[in-house]
Structure 1
Amino acid sequence: MSESECCESVRAESLMRIYHYLDGELTTTEIREISIHLEHCPSCHDEYEIEAMLKEVVRRSCGREEAPLGLKEKIRRRIAVEQVRWQR
């Protein structure tokens, strides 16, 4: 699959896989597949770099503070909305 095919036809799926990859929620095989894909797809690699940087900034900024009650659920709802939007 070429870079343009990846980024046009399965953009939402690629992004979700990157999020799961960053969160360590994949099998060893899936991690290997994504690593290979990121080596060959500059657009997905760029997206990965942005998301990795954002995750690190959030990690540093939040430190050991407690999240407000309900924040996790609010984030989950927002992710679900974005997933639907990307699939259209």
Structure 2
Amino acid sequence: MSHEHSSDDCADFLERIVYFLDNELDEADCSAVQHHLDECGPCLERYDLQRTVKAVVHRSCASEHAPSDLRQRVMVQIRAVQVRITDT
């Protein structure tokens, strides 16, 4: 069941694939992305590639942890950015 999709249409869905993979979309958006993937072979291929890359990275990094001093510095930077955002 192949339908023609415009490149703008596909670009919108390709942007949402990352959020779809991370389960960060609401039910309606998940349904829309899944429907698009069911009909669009090129987008489905990209989705499969992204899913594979994500799985490989996850397996490769699952047992490694950042050194505690690095984790601490990152947390300080995140808090600084949060403060700047809330002050704006």
The answer, yes or no, to whether TM exceeds 0.5 is yes
Structure 2 CA distance for aligned equivalents of residues 50 and 27 of structure 1? 23
Q: Please, which runs of 5 or more residues in structure 2 have no aligned partner?
A: 78-88
C-alpha deviation, 1:64, in angstroms:
2.5
Relative to the length of structure 1, the TM-score reads 0.66
Shift of 1:9: 2.1
In percent, how many aligned pairs have the same letter?
A: 34
Residue 44 of structure 2 aligns to a residue whose secondary structure is helix
- CA gap 1:40/1:67 in 2 versus in 1, 3 angstroms: farther
* Counterpart code for 1:65: E
Shift of 1:12: 3.9
Which structure exhibits the higher relative contact order, with contacts defined as CA atoms closer than 8 Å and separated by 6 or more residues?
Answer: 1
Calculate the TM-score normalised by the size of structure 2: 0.66
Counterparts of 1:29 and 1:58 in 2: how far apart (Å)? 28
